[in-house]
A and B are shown apart, each in its own frame.
Chain A
Amino acid sequence: MVETQRFLRFDWITILLFLLLVGFGWLNILSASHVGDTVDYLDFSQPYGKQLLFIFLTFGLIVILLAIDSKFYERFSSVIYIISMLSLVGLFIFGKNVNGATSWYGIGGMTIQPSEFAKAATALAVAKYLSDLNTDIKNFKDQLSVFALIGIPAILVLLQKDAGSTLVYGAFIFVLYREGLSPAYLIISLLFIVLCLLSLKFGVLATSLIMAIIVFGFHFSRKKKPIIIQPIAIFLIGILASFGTKYFYDNILPAHQKDRITIWLSLEKDPEKLERMKKTIAYNLNESEKAISSGGLTGKGFLEGTRTTGKFVPEQHTDYIFSTVGEEWGFLGSALVVILFVLLLMRILHLAEQQKSQFSRVYGYSVAAIIFMHFLINIGMVMGLIPTIGIPLPLFSYGGSGLWGFTILLFIFIKLDSDRINQW
C-alpha cells in the first residue's frame, strides 16, 4: 500500500513527456540513420539499433535512480561532484579524440562522455552548496565559491575543446538569480553580450558612439546625477570590452568558430565568398535549413524525407536531429516537439517551485535551466538563429552518454520530488 502510494507520487506528467521525447527522438534517429529499405531494429552496428539498446538500458537506470533513497543524492552530492570532476580531468590522460574534441573515454567498443554526467553532478553540488544554512548568495565570498563550483567543469570541458558544453554551464546564472543573486549579474551579462554583437557587426567606433549616447544620455536625464566619473568609467569599460571582443574575434578565436560567427552575423560582404562559405563551412547549417524548409506544413512523412534519406545533412542523427523532424514531420511535428520541450521545462520549473527543501528546489531549477540551455542552443542552431555550436538536443539526439546524462539529471529530480512530502 505504501509502495503503491510512493509509486503514484512520481510525477507522471514529467515521465510521460520524457517518454514521448525519447520515443519520438528514436523514430527520427531511425529515419536519419537507416540505410536501404529494410530495417533490422536490433542491428547494433547502426545508430538506431544502438540507440534502441541505450533506451532499454535507460529503463534499468531509471529503476535504480528511483530506488535509491532521495537523501542519498543530497548527502553524497559532494562525493559525486568530486568523482565527476576527476573523470573530466582524467580525460587529459586517457581521453579519446573524436572530431577534434577530447571528450570521450573508450571502453571496449563503447565510448563514454563524462561531461554529459558532469552537468548532473554540478547541479547536485550547486544545490547542496546553496541549501547549506551557512551560505548566503548575496555574500560575495559565497558567490565566488559557487562560481568556482560551476566554473571548474565549465573550464575543463572548454579545455577539451567542447565549447558548446561550456556554454551550458551559463544556465546556472538563472538558478543563482532565482536563489537571490543580484540582478546586476544578469543585466551586465546581457549588456555584455549585446556589446559583443554590436562590436562585431558594426565595429568598435559605431558601438562606442551608441554606448556614449545611451550612457551619457541616461546620466544627464537623471534628476539626481551621480558624479560624472561614474558614466565615464562605464563608458571606458565598454570601449575596452568592445576592443577586447574585436581583438578576441580577430586574433584568438579558432578559425572555424570565427567563420560560424561570420556567417551568423553576415559579416562577409562579398556575396560570392559568402556563397562559397555557405557551401563549405556552413554546409551543415545550409542543408539543415533546406531540409527543415522542405518539410512544409505537414512534412514528407516518416522515412520519406529525401534529404534525410540521402544523408544530405551530416551529423543528422546527433546534433542535427531536429532537421529530420522538420523534413519528415513538417511544421506540425516540429512545433509539437518545441511545445513538448516547453511543457517539460514548465513542468519541472513548476515542481521545483513547489519543493519544500531548498536543495530540491535548486536542483530542480538547475535541471530546467540545463535542459533549456541545450534546447535553446541546439534548435536555435539547427534553424540558423544562433551560430553553430555543437551540442545535442536532450533526449532526442543519438548518443548513450547524452541520454543517460539527461536521464540521471531528470530522474534524480523526479525522485526528489516524489519525496517532497517527507522533506521537513
Chain B
Amino acid sequence: MRQVLLFIIIILTGITFIGRLFYLQVISYGNQNLYDDNAIRKVYDYPKRGFVYDRNGKLLVDNQPSYDVMFIPREVKPLDTLEFCNLLKITKEDFKKIFNKAYNYSPRLPSVFIPQLTKEDYAALQEKMWKYEGFYIQKRSLRHYQTSIGANVLGDIGEVNNAIIEKNPYYRMGDLIGKQGVEISYEEELRGVKGIKFIQKDRFNRDLGPYKDGIYDTLPKQGKDITITIDSKLQEYGELLMKHKRGGIVAIEPSSGEILAMVTAPNYNPNLLVGRERSKNFTKLYRDTIAKPLYDRGLLAQYPPGSPFKVLNALVALQENVVNTQEKFSCRMGYYLGSRRLTGCHSHASPLNMNDGIAQSCNAYFANVYRRVIDKYDDASEGMDVWSNHIKSFGLGDYLGYDLVNGSPGKIPDGAFYDKWYPDFNWGSPTTISNAIGQGEVIATPIQLANMVAAIANRGYFYTPHIIKHIEGQPIDEKYTTPKHTTIDKKNFEPVIEGMFDVFNKGTAESLQVPDIEICGKTGTAENFTKIDGVTTQLTDHSIFVAFAPKDNPKIAIAVFVENGYWGSRFAGRIASLMIEQHIKGTITRKDLEDWILWHSLEHEYEKPYLGEPFGINANSTYQLVDAKEHERLKDLAKDIHN
C-alpha cells in the first residue's frame, strides 16, 4: 500500500483531468462558433438596398447616404463644446447627457453621438471635424422616396427588434429591415446579403487584423431592384381624390390580378419615416387614433359590402337555377314576410326583373332571390353552406393571399355559423335575409371587393391580387399567374354584367357615365355605427362603389369606400368613375366632376362624434367645402397629374 498510494492518486488525477477536458472540449463544445466568439469582431458590409420602380418604370424608392456622428468616449479630448453643439444643433446639456450615457455603456467602444445628420449639417460639420478628437463620421444608407405618395404600399425600413433577431439569425442588432409595405414583402430580395469580415481583437477590443487572413470573410450580395404593379400616376390621382375624406380605393387589372392603385386615406408622406425624424414622426402617426393614418383601409378595413354584394346573390341564384333573368318580383318599398317588413327599399318602378333589380338596386328583388337559394335545400344550414361556398369562391371570407403583409379575412357566414348563433332556434332564410343585400353578417375589405369585381369582369375567374410585377425581369411566383375559378358558370355572368352596365345606363349611377367607356358598376350604401360615451350611435352611411371597365376586355376593376360619404354614387361612385377614366383615357374630360370631388370635404362628418353635441346624419348632413386656397392647391395638383 505504501508503495502504490501515490501511483494510484496520480493515475486518478490524470483520469479526472482527461475527463474534465473531454467534458469541456468535446461535450460542451457544440455551441462554439465564430459568431459567438467574443474574441472575434464581426464587421458587416451592407449592400445597397434594391430600388423600387412602378409599373411604368418610374423610380419610386432609392437610397440616400446619411451620416452618423460617432465617438469613442475615452478618446475624446477637450474641445470647443459650444461651437460643436451649435454645429449639431444641440444644447450643452444634451452633449453632457449623451456623453455620460455612452461613457457608462463603455468608454472604449464606439457609440452614436448624433444619428443621421442631414447633408447640410454634415457638410458644415465635416470641415471642422479635425478639431474634434475622438469623434468621427460613419456613413449609412437610408431610403429615399422620389415621391410623396404610396406610403402604405412602399412601406419603410427601420432597425430590427429583438423578436426578429431571435427568430432569424441573419439579423444583428442595428440592422435595418422592412417595416411596412413591399419593404416587408420583398425584404429578402431588396436587402441582398450582407458581407462579413472577421477581425481578430484583444480583450481591450483593439483590432489585431483579419482572422485567419480573412478566409471566412464573405462579400456582400447586392439587393435586387423590384418593379411593382402600381401605376404611380393613378395612385397619385386616387390619393388626391381622397383628400379630406377617409376610406380606401383598390384598383386591380382583371386580366393579371395586378394591383394598379391602392389608396388609403388619410395617408402620409413616406419621407416622414426616414432618418433622424423617423421615430418622432412615427409616434405622431401612430398616436393619431382617430384618423389612423397608419391604418391601411384598402387592406384592413372590414365594412359591410352593401349593395355591390347583390350582384353575387344574383349570380348564385342563376347558378343554383332558382330564378331566370326575366322573372319579376314586386317591391312595396321593401320586402315583407307576411305583414312584417324584413328589409326596406327606396322608390322605383315595380315589379322588376333581374336586370332592373341590379340597376335599381332593389332590396326586395334580392331578398326573394336569396331566400330561394337557401330554401332550395331541405335544411337551411345546408342551403347556407351551398350559398357560402359560392360566395367564398370569389375570394371573400378569408385572406386573399396577396403579397402584402396587412390584411383582414372579412366574413362570409355558413350553416355552422348560424347553428352556433341560434342553438335553440330553427333559423331559416328570413333570419339571415340581410345577407341578401350585403348587410347582415357579411363583411369584406375593399381589396376583396375589388377582386370580386375582377372575377366578375373576367366572367368567372381571378388572379390572386399582387403588388409585384417583376424582380429584375425574373418571373413572379406561380401563385399569382394561376387563375382561380369561381363556382359560377361563365354563361351566368352575362345577364348580371348587363345589369351592372345598366347601373350606368339607367340606374343608380346614370350621372357618372364616362363618354366612350362602357362601365359596369354597382353602387352601395352601408349603415354603420360607433360608440359615443358608451351609446351606440348611427353615423352617416358609408359610400361604396365597385366597377369595372370596359365591359369587354376589362382593363380595371375598382372598389371605392368613402367612410360616411352617404349614398354610393355621391362620393365613391364619382371617385371610381374618375379613376376609371384616368386609367383608360389618361385624361379627365369631366373637369366639373373632378372639381366637385376636390372641393368637397367630409371632415366635418368625421368630427361629429367628437364634438359632444347632437348631430344629424345622412339626409340631415350637409356638404362642406374646402377653403379657396386649399381648393386651388388641389386643383394645381390635379393639373400636374394630367400634364
Contacts and interface: CB of A to CB of B under 8 A. Distances in A.
Interface of A: 36-37, 174, 177-178, 180, 183, 186, 287, 289, 292-297, 304, 306-307, 309-312, 326, 330-331, 334-335, 338-339, 341-342, 345-346, 349, 353, 365, 368-369, 372, 375-376, 379-380, 383, 385
A304 B212 contact: yes
Interface string B22-57: 101110110010000111100000000000000000
Contacts of A294: 29, 32, 37
A296 B17 contact: no
A310 B17 contact: no
B10 to A, nearest CB: 5
Contact of A306 (B1, B22, B211): B211
5 nearest interchain CB pairs?
Answer: A306-B39, A342-B14, A331-B25, A310-B39, A310-B202
A178 B6 contact: yes
A331 B2 contact: no
B28 A293 contact: yes
A169 to B, nearest CB: 16
B36 to A, nearest CB: 9
Contacts of B13: 342, 372, 375-376
A297 B29 contact: yes
Contacts of A385: 16-17, 20
Nearest to A311: B202
B203 interface: yes
Interface string B1-15: 111011101110110
B432 interface: no
Contacts of A289: 24
Given A304-B212, A310-B39, A334 B21 contact: yes
Mostly, the A contact residues are helix
A330 B22 CA distance: 10
Interface residues of B, number: 35
Nearest to A297: B26
B202 A349 contact: no
Nearest to A307: B39
Nearest to A365: B6
A312 B24 contact: no
Nearest to B212: A304
B200 A306 contact: yes
Nearest to B7: A349
Contact of B2 (A177, A293, A295, A312): A177
Given A306-B39, A306-B40, A309-B200, A349 B6 contact: yes
B208 interface: yes
B105 to A, nearest CB: 15
16 contacts: A294-B32, A294-B37, A296-B26, A306-B200, A306-B211, A310-B201, A312-B39, A326-B25, A331-B26, A335-B22, A338-B21, A341-B14, A342-B13, A349-B6, A353-B3, A385-B17
A292 B28 CA distance: 11
A383 to B, nearest CB: 5
Nearest to B34: A306
Contacts of B17: 338, 379-380, 383, 385
B24 A372 contact: no
B20 A383 contact: yes
Given A294-B37, A341-B14, A365-B6, A331 B203 contact: no
Contacts of A338: 14, 17-18, 21
B401 interface: no
B616 interface: no
A331 B29 CA distance: 11
A372 B12 CA distance: 12
B14 A292 contact: no
Nearest to A180: B2
A424 to B, nearest CB: 22
Given A297-B26, A372-B6, A37 B209 contact: yes
A334 B37 contact: no
Contacts of A375: 13
B42 to A, nearest CB: 12
Nearest to A181: B2
Contacts of B7: 346, 349
A368 B14 contact: no
